Amino acid sequence: MGNHVEVKASGLDVTEAVNVTETNIDLSADAVVIGSGAGGAIAAYELAKTGKKVIVLEAGRYVPSEKMTEMTAVSLGTMYADKAGQANAQGDITILQGACVGGSTVVNAALCFRTPDYYLKLWGEKFGLTNLTTEVMTPYFEKVEKNIWIKENTEAETSQGAELIKEGLDATGIPIGVAKRNVKNCALTGFCFAGCKAERKQSMLVTYLPWAQAYGAEIYADTRVNTITSEGGRATGITGEIINPDTGEKVADINVKAPIVVLAAGPIQSPIILMKSGLANSSGQVGKNFACHPSLSLTAEYDHAVDDFVGATHSVYVDEFTLPDESGIGGFILLNAIEQPVFAGSSQNPGTGKPYVNLMEKYANTIRLITLLHDKNSGEVIYENGVKSINYTVDDEDFESMKDGLKVNARILLASGASKVYIPTTLSKVIESEAEVDSVIDALTNDKSRYPYVSFHPQGTLRMGADPANTVVNPLGETHDVNNLYVVDGSLLPTSIGYNPSETIFALASYISDQINEAHP
């Protein structure tokens, strides 16, 4: 069979709403995969490779690389969930997720970390995931690292801002973490968040999805799954709708009958699909235990132009303070990032009018260093009366960790030569010397709608574990309640892991795909 398998040179064959002429589509397959991101694409490939007929359903649109604009505002409106307007119920944490064929892997900055041994051990002890040992998972990490080119940045894969931050890290004696990314021949455009037009980022769009198609998988974009169907305690397929993304009008109903259902719609939509289906919630945990790594970006201003406009979007990180302390309180990770004006232009408010104009005139003199909080799983995704809601706020303990992170962040930036560091509150605080760091940041209070938090890492709403009384998914990836219904996305994570979760999802999806293939040869 392998002798006849050929991957398209570029692009995918995708059924989109504009191609659909029927108003009712009935399909059957061996497996239906809901979602085409990090988990769904890997499952689609691994199942299709064994000869299964696989259908992949993606709610977002298909944006082939040649149509990517490298204009962040356009990408936010076409490739992100809710046109990048997804937020917590309070409205003060923007929760960004990809919503396109390839999911968040298309619009993330490709930063990868293996799941820390600390968490694999913790998950074994607290959630009975004794099968997910370092020894078991290491071959899966190695496999995905090889498949999608996860490698440490070369010396050339950096940016002007990252080089300054390295100077600050050297001066403060804080160890430098060099980013590992799933990028092959990085073109250093700095447009990761708008999608990699040059196809250097090894997202699902150019790896596992075309590979799955080489083995016969079919992909439907613009296709929103409403319910998972079941009979006698076994999953039997899905019902859904194909929606024109430009008009919002339904063009067809779609039903897929399949004895294997793989849920990979992401930590916000996956629990909602289960809630709408009335399935897999005997534990009452569907939608609960939401975490999202809220982040705040400090802006450093220098007395000279830095021109931090192009390069590797992420180059350096600091994880010295990431893992929880003795009391179990999580820490933070720092990440440099190239940000375009449309992102950076709204994160700081040094004062209305002239102070803001003055800051943006010096945009070329500024860089940004993100503090990403290792938060608790204290939130909940709910779905009532047709409306989703993400009930989550940064609690007081986590806010203290954020303040610790902001202090380290500010000290690094000042040590790098910054003349000013802007702390993003609704009216930005400005730090001009190391002596001011503690007093300014200690004075911050955990107020709602005070800080422009952005989250890139929702996780944990269908947590995995051995006990059906307090987890949704069993240690092999199948829901406790419904046979042949599997979950392979970030909702699996029993705890927040502090680090970017993409490689954890890649590895878990690979592991669970093996379990599916073993159960369904």
Partner 1 sequence: MNAREPDIRNVTQRIDKLDRRDFLRMSSMAVGMVAAGLSSLAPTAALAQQVPDGIAHMTPDEYAVWHRLMLALLPTEGSTLVDPETLPVLQTVDGAFLATLPPPVLEGLKGGVAYFNEAAVEPFGKPFVDLTNEEAAQYCDALAASEEVPARALFTALKFLTVTAYWAIPPTWAPTGFQGPVTEAWGIELQGNAPLPTA
Return the residues of window 123-152 that contact partner 1 according to CB under 8 A: 142-143, 146-149
Q: Tell me whether residue 206 or residue 260 sits nearer to partner 1 (CB atom).
A: 206
307 binding partner 1? (CB under 8 A):
yes
Q: CB of 471: closest distance to partner 1 in angstroms? A: 30
Which amino acid, residue 211?
W
| Residue with smaller CB distance to partner 1, 24 or 247 | 247
Give me the 409-428 binding string for partner 1, x by CB under 8 A, dash otherwise: -----------------xxx
**Residue of 18, 136, 357, 469 interacting with partner 1 (CB under 8 A):** 357
Rule CB under 8 A: choose which of 3, 21, 66, 384 binds partner 1: 66
Residues 228-287 binding partner 1 (CB under 8 A) are none
Write b or e for each residue in 331-346: b if 16 or more Cβ atoms lie within 10 A of its Cβ, otherwise e.
bbbbbbbbbbeebbee
Among 53, 151, 197, 234, binds partner 1 (CB under 8 A): 197
The structure tokens 């599916």 sit at 516
Q: CA-to-CA distance for 45 and 325, rounded, in angstroms? A: 39
The owner of tokens 């945990």 is 285
Residue closer to partner 1, measured from CB, 65 or 479: 65
Give the interface size with partner 1 as a residue count (CB under 8 A). Answer: 77
CB 182 to partner 1: min, Å: 10
Single out the residue of 217, 187, 213, 215 nearest to residue 202, CA to CA. Answer: 187
For partner 1, the closer of residues 294 and 324 by Cβ is 294
For residues 121 and 407, which CB has a smaller minimum distance to partner 1 in the complex?
A: 407
Pairing status of strand 250-257 against strand 24-28: parallel
E strand or H helix at 311: none
Q: Which one of 104, 159, 202, 495 is in contact with partner 1 (CB under 8 A)? A: 202
**In 10 A of CB 99, how many CB atoms?**
27
* Contact positions with partner 1 (CB under 8 A) in 308-347: 309-310, 340-342, 345-346
The contacts of residue 245 (CB under 8 Å, 6+ apart) are 17, 60, 61, 78, 222
Q: Does 92 bind partner 1 (CB under 8 A)?
A: yes
CA 323 vs. chain centroid, Å, equals 19
**Between 149 and 290, CB nearer to partner 1:** 149
Answer yes or no whether residue 355 interacts with partner 1 by CB under 8 A: yes
- E-strand stretches of 258-356: 260-263, 288-290, 295-301, 316-318, 332-336
